Amino acid sequence: MKKGTSNIDRSNTVITIRGLEKSFGDLDVLKNIDMDLYQGENLVVLGRSGTGKSVLIKIISGLLKPDKGQVIVLGKDVARLSTPELRELRQKIGFSFQHSALYDSMTVRENLEFPLVRNQRHLKRKQINQAIEEVLEAVGLSQAINQMPSELSGGQRKRIGIARTLIMKPEIMLYDEPTAGLDPITCTAINALINQVQQRYNTSSIIITHDLACAKATGDRIVMLLDGKFQREGTFEKVFDTSDDRIKPFYDYNFTE
């Protein structure tokens, strides 16, 4: 499935990265990375496992500090923010974890309620209930409101994880391997949900994946991360229109038309 047209404002950059470098000991993971994310855009960062994709979004969200370079998110220099300022910025960023990160001891309702109660203590019970109902409807799981995570399928847990990020009405969504471990039919549904979130909530998103079907279905623009650098950038077709022997085998192995 090919990505449809999106309403992208290229005059409004929500994330700007310049000269980003990150190493762990002798391992250089990110080498002089430059990147922009535009308002309303789904940007896919594509690459093999262990190439630094997840490190990139952890730096964007302030979970890791860069060795060099500048990361500007919603006009804020992330490395220079105080702890309260970073906490405030993170409330505008939705982080969809690879394994959903739901609390096993809480119902779906309680999982969704938790970030609201913790971060927006002024809300009334009616407002909390309305917010929960809205995001469950958005991800197509209204009927799961009183279920436990253990009663849900992997795809359903992924949807609830996305709902929990949406409940804070983030301006930016960070998806870490959103289709990992899911069957092909569920992958297709999650890809469609990512696009629906983009359209319904006008989010700007970074989608970290090594799943080429996910990249093609969700990405307005794709960057290929290889050897710590962005080697290719553009549409899905442009990125893979190459004889580069590091990229062509990746396509041949991962993607079936």
Domain boundaries, the chain: 100-169
State the pLDDT at residue 122.
79
Residue 254 has what pLDDT? 60
Average pLDDT on 134-156 reads 93
- Among residues 213, 218, 191, the alpha carbon closest in space to that of 257 is found at 213
| Per-residue pLDDT, 243 | 83
Average pLDDT over residues 39-51: 89
pLDDT of residue 7: 87
Report how far residue 124's alpha carbon sits from residue 91's, in angstroms, rounded to the nearest whole number: 19
- Which residues does 134 contact at the CB level (< 8 Å), separation at least 6? none
Q: Which residues contact 60 (CB under 8 A, 6 or more apart)?
A: 15, 17, 71, 73, 78, 93, 174, 206
Confidence of residue 210 (pLDDT cuts 50, 70, 90): confident
Mean pLDDT of the chain: 90
* pLDDT band, residue 244 (cuts 50/70/90): confident
pLDDT tens digits for range 74-93: 999 999 999 999 999 999 99
Q: Which residue has the tokens 């079936």?
A: 256
Say if residues 214 and 42 touch (Cβ distance below 8 Å).
no
The predicted model gives 143-163 an average pLDDT of 92
- Residue 257: pLDDT band with limits 50, 70, 90: very low
- Tell me the backbone φ, ψ of residue 55, rounded to 5 degrees: -60, -40
Q: Does the pLDDT of residue 250 top 60, yes or no?
A: yes
pLDDT score at 89: 94
pTM for this prediction = 0.90
Sheet holding 9-24, edge to edge: 27-39, 9-24, 68-73, 76-77
